[in-house]
Structure 1
Amino acid sequence: MPKVSDEHKELRIQQILLAASEVFKSKGYEQATLKDIVEEAGMSRGWIYLYFKDKTTIFMALIDYLDAQLEERISTLLKENKGSAHGVLISYFQETSQSIDRLKDSVVPAIYEFCTTGWRVQQVRDYFVNRYIRVTAIFIDVIGKGVENGEFKPTRSVDEIGKYMISSLDGIMLHSLAFGSQQINAVQQVNLLINQLMEMLSVNFLKIMGKNS
């Protein structure tokens, strides 16, 4: 097989992940097959196997890809909010509220399915433990920046607040998928979570106003 440049490899991998995303959105994790992904990607099975050994490794790579996009989005929000951690959290929560009704059309249901059906498998359990650490670290870092620049004076540890935020959001999203966002008043719950977080962070609004002026 001829040598393939790193750039070409990245394009191939992205093509596979985008195809996989469409398959997992429509079929979920359990019902999706490698054959479905091969057909959606328009590649031979051999090309797929060149980069991934099975459906599980494709799905994990897809989640990593989405998490990398989240990290990029947080970086962008930091720039848009002139380095304000408070601004980042508010913007992120607003975007989350707006996207809740579209969760069922995303990869999120398949991620929850993969986690709940595969937790007995050591590889899957280890993966999600590491992912939890990685994703919570993104928001713990944001909160930490807010403490450093004087926006926050938290009443609890930054680590504890960050983990509480992620756990609460996960619960809201999972219940939205299970019972419907209207049934559980998801947007109102997100707003309540914002208020709780701001209380725990003891927001210094004078400092924030100074940054935005």
Structure 2
Amino acid sequence: MSPKVSEEHIKQRRAKILEAAIQVFIENGYERTTMKHVMDAANVSRGGLYQYFSNKEDLYEAILEENLSRRILETKELLKEKNNSYWDLLLLRLFGEDREPDDKMDPLAPSNLEFFITGRNDKRRRKYGKERYNYGIKLYTDIIRAGQESGEFSNVHDSNILARTIVTFIDGLALGHAILPTEDLKMKEQSMLFVENLKITLGVK
């Protein structure tokens, strides 16, 4: 009889595999990465890997889910804190802890583009992409709407449309980042201009 594996141990092994897989996808991109690459990086057997993830697509979706779920949960908790500045929260979601535009992009962004673009004709991938897009829209919509309801933001523009504009801008930068050198993209300069326009649109003083 095989020894019983604790739920905590299972979570830790899964987290270790995901952590290793993230680095592999950053180094190789989505298309070039294989399950064998992940097995080697995570130092697990084939059976050990497939116990948690049935294929590369399943594995990558898990990475995307972990990142998005964490951001959504954090945002929900921060929105409960009445004294928070919604503009500050918006900058946190856009640029991370520094809340300032820079030339850095999520290192997984090129792999994310590969994942969705190469699977654009796949029914399952398109369905998942739409669901993920809607979750992203909701995240920004919730922040903007809360800011409008509190009076911190102007309510001249629809919160959902503003959220879609933000996501479109981020996706556009990610595409540019995947194909252009940083100095040609001028990501920081574009982001600073976008923030200034967003500030005016939201009526932030």
If the length of structure 1 is used for normalisation, what is the TM-score?
0.84
Partner of 1:145: 146
- For residue 73 of structure 1, report the CA deviation from its aligned partner: 5.4
- 1:101-120 equivalences under 5 Å are 101=104, 103=106, 106-120=107-121
SS at match of 1:20: helix
SS at match of 2:185: coil
- For residue 80 of structure 1, report the CA deviation from its aligned partner: 9.7
Residues 191, 80 of structure 1: CA spacing in aligned structure 2 closer, same or farther, 3 A cutoff? farther
SS at match of 1:22: helix
Judge conservation of contact 1:23–1:37 (CA < 8 Å) in 2.
yes
How many angstroms apart in 2 are the aligned matches of 1:189 and 1:91?
Answer: 17
- For residue 36 of structure 1, report the CA deviation from its aligned partner: 0.8
- For residue 2 of structure 1, report the CA deviation from its aligned partner: 4.4
Residues 182, 75 of structure 1: CA spacing in aligned structure 2 closer, same or farther, 3 A cutoff? farther
Q: Return the letter of the residue paired with 2:104.
A: D
Q: Aligned pair 1:123/2:127, yes or no?
A: no
Q: Aligned pair 1:4/2:5, yes or no?
A: yes
Partner of 1:211: none
Partner of 2:168: 167
Which ranges of structure 2 fall in alignment gaps of 5 or more residues? none
Judge conservation of contact 1:155–1:202 (CA < 8 Å) in 2.
no
Q: Aligned pair 1:97/2:98, yes or no?
A: no
- Percent identity at matched positions? 28
Deviates more, 1:68-77 or 1:14-23: 68-77
Partner of 1:31: 32
Q: Return the letter of the residue paired with 2:88.
A: G
- For residue 167 of structure 1, report the CA deviation from its aligned partner: 0.6
Deviates more, 1:4-13 or 1:66-75: 66-75
How many angstroms apart in 2 are the aligned matches of 1:125 and 1:3?
Answer: 39
- For residue 171 of structure 1, report the CA deviation from its aligned partner: 0.6
Q: Aligned pair 1:19/2:17, yes or no?
A: no
Q: Return the letter of the residue paired with 1:22.
A: Q
Q: Deviations over 1:18-39 (max 9, x none)?
A: 1111110111111111111111
- For residue 74 of structure 1, report the CA deviation from its aligned partner: 4.2
Q: Deviations over 1:162-202 (max 9, x none)?
A: 11111112112221331223213211111111122222222
Q: Deviations over 1:123-152 (max 9, x none)?
A: 111111100111121111111111121101
- For residue 71 of structure 1, report the CA deviation from its aligned partner: 3.2
Which ranges of structure 1 fall in alignment gaps of 5 or more residues? 206-213
Task: Kindly indicate which of the two structures has a greater share of residues assigned to helix.
Answer: 1
How many angstroms apart in 2 are the aligned matches of 1:80 and 1:178?
Answer: 40
SS at match of 1:51: coil
How many angstroms apart in 1 are the aligned matches of 2:74 and 2:101?
Answer: 16
- For residue 12 of structure 1, report the CA deviation from its aligned partner: 1.4
Number of equivalent positions: 201
Judge conservation of contact 1:24–1:107 (CA < 8 Å) in 2.
yes
Residues 174, 82 of structure 1: CA spacing in aligned structure 2 closer, same or farther, 3 A cutoff? farther
Partner of 1:157: 158
Partner of 2:58: 57
